Structure 1
């Protein structure tokens, strides 16, 4: 059985923490509009899309490697500390990882923010690679979201 793993990254942004946090919570509305090259749509299947228990169906744009969709369940949201966790519960990712749980936190950093993202995973097979591709995708998306918010 494959051992659990964890990846972590921190991204500095120029956006105000409150604005960046709100954009993350509203990602189901913002991401498909702002990043059509990455997200085809994000549909809310259960809940309001931004509180614990909510389930979102994320359809990725064509041309992205490995995955076309994932179903995510929001596990926790802490407004005061600007943190949220979510688990991938369906989609191609599940064929690579038995479990995939991510956390995002937005921390004040001078005039901007420090976005901390991590994921805990358990590989479905011993030889499955670490999900570095998803870490890179998160980093790029946070940088692009920052640019989008600075223009808005």
Structure 2
């Protein structure tokens, strides 16, 4: 029987939750402009923000070359998003991979919570620590970008 595993990160940021969420949701425009590691983000189907058959293809600089993600759930009022990776190099190591992102107010800023649920292809496959580190860096740099704007 398959074992679903989880890894998570909680990041405190300075930007208020609504502003951070609005900027995060404009990822197609903002991410390639702010982060050199996001070379391009292409919408394959849908508007790139809605639930369902919306697919987004992201080309990266670095060890992960590209990923195609499907948005499975989104609630702009609650500032939550769930996505599934449906095509990527990481699917050689993980039979399935799903991410959850939420942004909640905390003090004068916010808290970004990211959780990944995944099933390893074999017991030898490590936990996706490098993906976690990559996303934590992205969330913090997005916060710094918003603070400068």
Is the TM-score greater than 0.5?
Answer: yes
Normalising by structure 2, we get a TM-score of 0.95
Q: Give the structure 1 partner of residue 144 of structure 2.
A: 147
Matches within 5 A, 1:103-118: 103-118=100-115
Instruction: Give the Å deviation of 1:3.
Output: 2.4
Q: Give the structure 2 partner of residue 35 of structure 1.
A: 35
Matches within 5 A, 1:41-80: 41-53=40-52, 54-61=54-61, 64-65=62-63, 67-80=64-77
| Structure 1 runs of 4+ with >3 Å offset | none
Q: CA RMSD in A?
A: 1.1
- Is the contact made by 1:105 and 1:116 (CA closer than 8 Å) also made in structure 2? yes
Q: Give the structure 1 partner of residue 78 of structure 2.
A: 81
Normalising by structure 1, we get a TM-score of 0.94
1:31-74 CA distance string (max 9 Å, x none): 111001x111010101111111210000001xx22x20000000
Question: Which 5+ residue runs of structure 1 have no aligned equivalent?
Answer: none
Give the count of matched residue pairs.
148
